[in-house]
Structure 1
Amino acid sequence: MKKQLFALCTSVALLLSACSGTPSQSDKPAPAVQTDKAEIMVSAAASLTDALNELKTTFETDHPGIVVTYNFGSSGKLAQQIGQGAPSDVFLSASAKDMNVLEEKQLIAKDTRQDFTKNELVLITGANSSVKIDSFEKLTDPALQHIAVGEPEAVPAGRYAKEVMDALKITDSLQGRLVYGSDVRQVLTFVESGNADVGIVYASDAAISKNVKVLATAKSEWHKPIVYPGAVVAASTHADAAKAFLSYLTSDKGKAILQKYGFQ
């Protein structure tokens, strides 16, 4: 009887040992996959919003190790933020002036700076507006109560608009009727919503909106050349990824996307 009991206990012990033994190779959890990516912050002029959002998709597809995040705003404010130490890897400005400020302070990698596109300045009104003027000279028409422009001190489009008004000697006559936007996209919104009779924006801004129509295009001699310089920020922690983004922006793919959205 004792022998039978011992045999039974031994069998049970062996069975339990088999059930709780070391798991097979297939039972082991898969090793963790490395997902580290370089995340770059691109501080870009508001007028680039739509083009860069499309470019982000194609760039990240072609560069799976890089993730792009944008900070859109007026070039002047973005330059100020970078000057105050805000994290950024790439600066894309709508004017040379704001880039020059950072270069003078050695806040960009000078050898990476390059002009990547151009633009034009246009006078717009709402798509269903009854405004009929066909030139910038006619902005003095007293029927125009609200004329939207960018804030000249911080918004390049506003700075160019002021240069046009000064060249035409109509600046003083428009005082009291000018409505200032914090960036060029706000100017576009003022006109789209009917809160301004007309507005002065870039040709690229007018091109992406179905709610406005172009009344006139400013002559190039009325304002400084509208060029967009880009550069890697000196304090970038992902300089190689930032350089790759700038290179892509000036590649055939990048140029095609910019032209699609009205840039030259």
Structure 2
Amino acid sequence: MAGYGRRGFIFYSLFGLLSACTVAQVNQQQSSAINLTISAASSLKDVLNAIAFQYNQENTNLKIIYNFGSSGSLQQQIEQGAPIDIFISASPQQMEALKAKNLLIPESEKPLVGNQMVLIVPQGKTGISRFEQLTNPDINKIVIGEPGSVPAGQYAQEILINVGLYNTITPKLVFANNVRQALTYVEMGNVDAGIVYKTDAQLSNQVKMVAIASPNSHRPIIYPVAILKNSKYPDLAKLFVQFLFQQKAQQIFKDYGFQILT
């Protein structure tokens, strides 16, 4: 009897330990962070990382995962079924295309922030202070985003057409896959000038802004945000989007040079 009691004691002790481990694993899974995936234009990389850090100070159970790229490429990924919760484009054009295919939650699309386009040259380069001077013989290569998929490239193309330069300087143009790549080309001295967002130019001490494009020379630069219909966590996505419009996040956008719309 005594031996049986000892075996019973050991059995129930082990059973209790295993049960405790199982409960601990369940609790750990329940308390683990939920991943919220956001596809966003490359020009938003730094500001959105700063906003995610601020958001996680108050929401530790939510992990923000970003997928940065050109807005056109991100649009295609979403159309092909990429598991995205939120999309932030650098132009309304990509958002409208997704809306037309019924891929957005109705009424979730909103204009978020604005931006400006600037002409930049490598730090130390002189002799250019206007877009019209891109025809100068010492300007051999000019980088812009690929107009077919990069909103920054579309805006740059509009500027060059508006000032009557596009056909003249087309042989000088180098096309980048996104605006950050365009910025890098200028930083590295691979080109003589580039047209990028003001917010990107401000992040680099290796380039110099020499001109700001007139707002009348291109369509308004608006970054819209929307929640995808196939979001796994639409309620959490809605809360994050709401945070983007709150004072804390809007101040971060402003600190990074974006234009506040409201």
Do they superpose with TM above 0.5? Answer: yes
1:197 match: 192
Q: CA deviation at 1:250?
A: 1.2
Which secondary structure does the structure 2 equivalent of 1:44 belong to? strand
Q: CA deviation at 1:206?
A: 0.8
The reply to whether residue 255 of structure 1 matches residue 257 of structure 2 is no
1:188 match: 183
- Residue segments in structure 1 that go unaligned for 5+ positions in a row: 1-9
**CA 1:162/1:15 → structure 2, altered by over 3 Å: closer, same or farther?**
closer
More divergent stretch after superposition (253-262 vs 183-192): 253-262
* CA deviation profile, 1:40-73 (whole Å, cap 9, x unmatched): 1100000000011111112122222321111100
The alignment yields a C-alpha RMSD, in angstroms, of 2.3
Q: CA deviation at 1:159?
A: 0.1
1:97 match: 93
**CA 1:145/1:58 → structure 2, altered by over 3 Å: closer, same or farther?**
same
More divergent stretch after superposition (14-23 vs 37-46): 14-23
Q: CA deviation at 1:135?
A: 1.0
**CA 1:27/1:232 → structure 2, altered by over 3 Å: closer, same or farther?**
closer
* CA deviation profile, 1:20-47 (whole Å, cap 9, x unmatched): 58559x9784631232433111000000
1:62 match: 58
1:40 match: 36
Which secondary structure does the structure 1 equivalent of 2:90 belong to? coil
2:150 match: 155
Stretches of 4+ moved more than 4 A in 1?
A: 13-24, 26-30
1:142 match: 137
Q: Distance in 2 between matches of 1:223 and 1:159?
A: 9
One-letter amino acid of the structure 2 residue matched with residue 56 of structure 1: A
Percent of matched pairs sharing the same residue: 38
* CA deviation profile, 1:151-201 (whole Å, cap 9, x unmatched): 001000000000001111110111211011000000000000000111100
- Is 1:131–1:197's contact at 8 Å kept on the other side of the alignment? no
The reply to whether residue 171 of structure 1 matches residue 170 of structure 2 is no
Q: Distance in 1 between matches of 2:177 and 2:142?
A: 14
1:7 match: none
Q: CA deviation at 1:123?
A: 0.4
1:113 match: 109
More divergent stretch after superposition (13-22 vs 198-207): 13-22
Name the larger-Rg structure: 1
One-letter amino acid of the structure 1 residue matched with residue 99 of structure 2: E
- Residue segments in structure 2 that go unaligned for 5+ positions in a row: none
- Is 1:38–1:241's contact at 8 Å kept on the other side of the alignment? no
**CA 1:180/1:22 → structure 2, altered by over 3 Å: closer, same or farther?**
same
